[in-house]
Amino acid sequence: MALGRRRLLIGFAGAGGLALTGCGWVRDSAPPSTSATIGFDPPPGTHDVQARSHATITVTDGTLRSVDWTDETGRSLPGASSPDHRSWTSAEPLGYGHTYTAKAVANGETGDVTATTTCTTVRPRQLVDVSLRSANLVELAENDTYGIGFVLVAHFDEPVDRAAVEPHLEVTTDPPVTGAWYWLDDQNAHWRPEHYHAPGTRITIAAELFGLALGEGRYGLRDQRVSVIIGPAHVAIADDDTKQIEVFDNGNLVRTMPTSMGRGGTAVIGGRAMSFWTRPGIYTVLDQKDPVIMDSASYGLPTNSGLGYRTSINHAVRISHDGIYVHELAATMWAQGNTNVSHGCLNISPNDAAWFYDFVIPGDVVEVRNTGGDPLDIWQNGDWGIPWSDWLHGGAHT
């Protein structure tokens, strides 16, 4: 009786680690040991890896003990392991034109395992930068303030693939407004919404071009991000029917200024046809100078010709790239409000010019109505004169 009970207890105790067979008691076989496996991304031997890529190392069935990822100069690529030490990621992108060698050591059930890799990154034929500007061609600075006619300009220092670039020129507004890019050529793109910006709007442009293929072996030099703010709604309307400039501040008429605009007509000087109209259209303020040297030779009219000039002008507000200003000219006050006598600029009195000079900021709207001549062209600063449906057809994908 006692013996039988003893045998029963032994058999029960063995159920945890022993098995009963026809030949007696035997121990279960242990599971096989596994080795750690190391994986690299980019994979070993990869060429022309994109510069924006990050390096990663992953471990299966083990944990990382060390990582050494260096470029051709011996510089180590900074990075960090995950909390569980099963992966490592570089803290910066791989960059252009590098040859990398990496060594990783991982520990698994069978001990340490070592793996190595090499890869090369793309080597551009040329790096291309973009200048983010307003219509006055001055680079944007963080928190600059512009008028409601602000137009964003992206100028590339070399031709680019428009379709490749445009998705990486991201414009956001607060409050949200729909806008679109309009390409003048392969180096210049302009962005605006359908209507003038609302005062207080913040506009942010993120140009994420580093590592981006721009066509013909060219790649983006860097990423950029900048935001600007829209100021009060300043709109000046110059009407040739009345020869007055009405100035509005947030919809309220604050000043009326008599003016004398372009005398009209054309003349052939030095074999070149010159127009003396103030072209109709929607201009914006580009910049201000006090004084400015105005030289007719700057737009092809020789200074020594009968209609040429070179003179210093006070309180000059430039509104076109080909030299149209709203400016002081006491000598034409007799004509201001009744007769057009200028070469194309808008002449106003010294008092009005000083006030207007202090009132406006870049991006403020100056609309010229009912004059002769061809409508203002976009290259002259006529972005807002292009109908919205036509503007939408100027994108890279249309």
Catalytic amino acids? Answer: 327, 345
CA 353-357-359 angle, to 5 degrees, is: 115
Q: Taking Cα atoms as reference points, which of 148, 141, 207 lies closest to residue 177?
A: 148
Q: Taking Cα atoms as reference points, which of 338, 337, 339, 342 lies closest to residue 327?
A: 342
Q: Taking Cα atoms as reference points, which of 195, 238, 199, 229 lies closest to residue 366?
A: 238
User: How far is it, in rounded angstroms, from Cα 258 to Cα 337?
Assistant: 4
User: How far is it, in rounded angstroms, from Cα 181 to Cα 130?
Assistant: 15
Q: Kindly report the three-state secondary structure assignment for every residue of the chain.
A: CHHHHHHHHHHHHHHHCEEEECCEEEECCCCCCCCCEEEEECCCCEEEECCCCCCEEEEECCEEEEEEEECCCCCECCEEECCCCCEEEECCCCCCCCEEEEEEEEEECCEEEEEEEEEEECCCCEEECEEEECCCCCECCCCCEECCCCCEEEEECCCCCHHHHHHHEEEEEECCCCEEEEEEECCEEEEEECCCCCCCCEEEEEEECECCEEECCEEECCEEEEEEEECCCEEEEEECCCCEEEEEECCEEEEEEECECECCCEEEECCEEEECCCCCEEEECCEEECCEEEEHHHHCCCCCCCCCCEEEECCEEECCCCCCEEEECHHHCCCCCCCCCECCCEEECHHHHHHHHHHCCCCCEEEEECCCCCCCCHHHCCHHHCCHHHHHCCCCCC
User: How far is it, in rounded angstroms, from Cα 90 to Cα 80?
Assistant: 7
Phi first, then psi: give them for residue 10, nearest 5 degrees.
Answer: -65, -45
What type of residue is 28? D
